[in-house]
């Protein structure tokens, strides 16, 4: 895809402000394309002699679109030199746009899109709490698709408690992930193109039980993935890596339960944190990775609304820095509290990284997609933390 | 670190005005923009940030000579001090080549000055820079005021004991001391750049 591009890279390394300054001081003319898996579609910025003249971000156009793109903290940029025939819609000075956009970003006027860090997602927008986070994935690799299925608006694709081990990827459309709660069904996430439905535990036992309900929003086209092929890939991994993946998969379920508990207000907050003491503090540069041998731990994030428990970990689970994953539970965005009887062993992250690199792109995407869901779910937990426990 | 633009044969460097809110950073830059029209290229960008304004414009110092046959273009910035403007501060302070610390001479602002300088120190550290190494010039502003102001000696004692930077009294609102502060900062910055260049050559 990058055949014609003149400069391309990752926004988490070089952010839009830097990219625009770089293109600006080179007097570049052409199209800057931004893609993010957290956005519904790509964004475009048209430059003439180094100055942005127009932009689009899905339904937005012009300056409004350009400013909104500064919120894309994670994603790819791709600049291609060409003659731009767009009208000069944006007339503001380049540096003015950049400085103004950063001010708006800092004041919370521009919504941030990206893996959710300690800085919270959109706590600044309580009015928007009804909107459901949206997750996209990468392109679906047809090598792994065995069949396609269509669902109509409102149709249930999977139901909580049902047995089933299919894994789908969304080709077109969107689906809502819904959890059953005592107060009725609760929509947690909306998945879009490229996102996966199903979990890794499908490879484990016959008859995996679905932990949530998936409902089509509009008409949806799904790709049925070759689970046998994926299962085979899973089977040849080392037992260490398999255990890691299973624990990782379980983590999404437990993080979701934790978020739902907070959202519905019936959390046993104090109970979960009592008898536990801090082990790794949020923001600490901790490069090691641990596996729990005995005892319990809780991953906790410090947010504007106080401490928020994200997930409880038990024997066999991992905490610390995982090099290839970004799920918002790493030491730079969350603390680890441990029980008194905790025993943990060190794990070599390099070995895990090697095994991860050996996996097929589809399998890697599946893992990344789970990590994104964990990250977003944790952010939901933080923004739904009720007032009464904020003092902690 | 300055940016070299081979196409335009230009060296682009960055000078940032730092100081507590309402100390006169903006007034300094506004005066430069107004008084040195020939050397200013492009319009002044002004962004309203809480309690302060963030300013930016390009400046082409004349009579300072060339480095390696390249013209020097200076970007002048002010930066909002509040904690929440971290993205803006990062953009502005990263790769800064020279600094002007503007201190407020008013007695009541004594503590604010010291806090702001400490802030600058911490912020620079975050971007891998040292306040002792980046070329820095101090300006004690508002010398014209009749309300109680601190003596230059007291202020130097507060702020410049360890840094030992050049100090310039000023009254930015009348333009007094503005030019000489910038000139000294430019000089230090260019000397530092030249030193860095020889280092790599």
Q: In chain A, which residues touch B (CB < 8 A)?
A: 17-18, 25-27, 93, 95-96, 98-100, 102-103, 105-107
Closest CB to A95: pick one of B12, B48, B56. B56
Can you give the three-state secondary structure of A305-362, one letter per residue? Answer: CEEEEEEEECCCCEEECCCCCCCCCCCCCCEEEEECCCEEEEECHHHHHHHHHHCCHH
Interchain CB contact of B41 with A (< 8 Å): no
Pairing mode, strands A7-10 and A76-81: antiparallel
Tell me the shortest Cα–Cα distance from A249 to chain B, in angstroms: 34
Q: How many residues does chain B have?
A: 201
> For A340-359, what is the mean pLDDT?
86
> Do B57 and B76 contact (CB within 8 A), yes or no?
yes
Q: How many CB atoms lie within 10 A of CB B79?
A: 26
Count CA atoms closer than 13 A to B119's CA, side-chain side: 20
Provide CATH code, domain B3-192. 3.40.50.300
CB contact under 8 A, B45 and A103: no
pLDDT of residue A289: 86
Q: Testing the interface with A: which of B13, B41, B45 to mutate, by most A Cβ within 10 A? A: B45
> For A221-244, what is the mean pLDDT?
86
Q: What is the pLDDT of residues A45-95, one digit of tens each?
A: 999 988 999 999 988 899 999 999 999 988 899 999 988 888 889 988 888
Measured CA to CA, the distance from residue B124 to residue B129 in angstroms comes to: 5
pLDDT of residue B126: 84
Measured CA to CA, the distance from residue B91 to residue A114 in angstroms comes to: 19
The two three-digit tokens of residue A233, written as one number:
């890939």
> Do A197 and A246 contact (CB within 8 A), yes or no?
no
Whether the pTM exceeds 0.90: the reply is no
Fold of A128-389: Jelly Rolls (2.60.120)
Q: What is the pLDDT of residues A247-274, one digit of tens each?
A: 888 888 888 888 888 877 766 666 667 7
> Do A381 and A305 contact (CB within 8 A), yes or no?
no
Tell me the shortest Cα–Cα distance from A93 to chain B, in angstroms: 8
| CB < 8 Å to B43, chain A | 93
The more confidently predicted of residues A118 and B118 is B118
Q: What is the pLDDT of residues B139-173, one digit of tens each?
A: 999 999 988 999 999 999 999 999 999 999 999 99
CB contact under 8 A, B56 and A99: yes
pLDDT of residue B42: 75
> Do A176 and A217 contact (CB within 8 A), yes or no?
yes
Give the chain A residue whose CA is nearest to the CA of B4: A25
Pairing mode, strands A196-197 and A289-294: unpaired
> Do A370 and A249 contact (CB within 8 A), yes or no?
yes
Count Cβ atoms within 10 A of the Cβ of residue A4 and give its class: 0-12 exposed, 13-18 middle, 19 or more buried. Answer: exposed
- Residue whose tokens read 């100090």: B167
Interchain CB contact of B36 with A (< 8 Å): no
> Do A46 and A84 contact (CB within 8 A), yes or no?
yes
CB contact under 8 A, A26 and B56: no
Torsion, CA A321, CA A325, CA A327, CA A333, rounded to 10:
40
pLDDT of residue A136: 75
CB contact under 8 A, A106 and B84: yes
Q: What is the pLDDT of residues B63-77, one digit of tens each?
A: 666 777 788 889 899
A283 Cβ contact partners less than 8 Å away, ≥ 6 residues apart: A118, A331, A332
Tell me the ipTM for this assembly. 0.79
Domain ranges of chain A: 7-106, 128-389
pLDDT of residue A66: 93
């Amino acid at each position: 895809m990058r055949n014609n591009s003149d400069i391309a890279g990752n926004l988490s390394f070089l952010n839009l402000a830097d990219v625009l300054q770089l293109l600006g001081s080179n007097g570049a003319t052409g199209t800057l394309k931004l893609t993010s898996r957290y956005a519904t579609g790509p964004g475009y910025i048209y430059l003439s002699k180094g100055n942005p003249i127009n932009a689009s971000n899905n339904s937005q156009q012009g300056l409004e679109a350009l400013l909104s793109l500064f919120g894309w903290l994670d994603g790819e940029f791709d600049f291609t030199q060409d003659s731009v025939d767009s009208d000069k819609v944006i007339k503001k000075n380049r540096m003015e746009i950049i400085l103004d956009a950063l001010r708006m970003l800092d004041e919370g006027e521009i919504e941030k899109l990206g893996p959710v860090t300690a800085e919270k997602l959109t706590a600044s927008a309580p009015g928007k709490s009804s909107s459901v986070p949206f997750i996209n994935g990468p392109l679906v690799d047809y090598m792994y698709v065995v069949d396609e299925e269509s669902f109509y608006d409102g149709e249930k694709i999977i139901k909580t408690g049902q047995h089933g081990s299919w894994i789908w990827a969304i080709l077109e459309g969107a689906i809502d992930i819904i959890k059953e709660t005592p107060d009725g069904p609760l929509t947690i996430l909306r998945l879009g193109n490229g996102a996966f439905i199903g979990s890794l535990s499908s490879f484990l036992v016959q008859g995996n039980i679905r932990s949530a309900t998936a409902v089509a929003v509009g008409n949806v086209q799904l790709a049925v993935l070759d689970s046998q092929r994926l299962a085979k890939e899973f089977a040849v991994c080392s037992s260490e890596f398999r255990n890691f993946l299973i624990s990782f998969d379980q983590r999404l379920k437990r993080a979701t339960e934790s978020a739902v508990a907070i959202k519905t207000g019936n959390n046993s907050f104090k109970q979960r944190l009592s008898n536990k003491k801090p082990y790794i503090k949020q923001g600490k540069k901790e490069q090691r990775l641990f596996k729990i041998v005995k005892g319990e731990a809780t991953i906790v994030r410090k947010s504007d609304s106080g401490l928020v428990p994200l997930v409880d970990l038990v024997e066999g689970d991992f905490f610390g820095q995982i090099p290839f994953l970004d799920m918002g539970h790493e030491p730079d965005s969350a603390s680890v509290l441990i029980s008194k009887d905790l025993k943990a062993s060190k794990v070599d992250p390099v070995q895990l990284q090697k095994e991860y690199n050996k996996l097929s792109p589809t399998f890697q995407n599946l893992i990344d997609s789970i990590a994104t869901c964990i990250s977003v779910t944790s952010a939901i937990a933080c923004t739904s933390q009720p007032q009464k426990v904020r003092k902690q | 670190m300055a940016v070299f633009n081979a196409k335009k044969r230009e060296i682009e460097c960055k000078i940032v005005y730092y100081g507590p809110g309402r100390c006169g950073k903006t007034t300094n830059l506004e005066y430069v923009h107004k008084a040195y029209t020939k050397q200013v290229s492009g319009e002044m960008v002004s962004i309203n940030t809480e309690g302060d304004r963030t300013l930016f414009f390009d400046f082409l110092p004349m009579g300072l000579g060339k480095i390696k046959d390249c013209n020097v273009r200076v970007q002048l910035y002010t930066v909002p001090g509040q904690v929440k403007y971290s993205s803006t501060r990062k953009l502005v302070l990263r790769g800064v080549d020279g600094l002007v610390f503007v201190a407020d001479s008013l007695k009541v602002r004594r503590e604010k000055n010291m806090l702001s300088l400490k802030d600058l120190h911490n912020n620079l550290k975050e971007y891998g820079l040292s306040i002792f190494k980046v070329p820095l010039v101090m300006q004690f502003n508002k010398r014209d005021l009749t309300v109680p102001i601190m003596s230059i000696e007291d202020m130097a004692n507060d702020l410049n004991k360890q840094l030992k930077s050049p100090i310039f009294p000023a009254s930015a609102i009348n333009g007094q001391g503005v030019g000489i502060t910038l000139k000294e900062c430019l000089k230090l910055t260019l000397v530092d750049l030249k030193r860095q260049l020889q280092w790599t050559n």
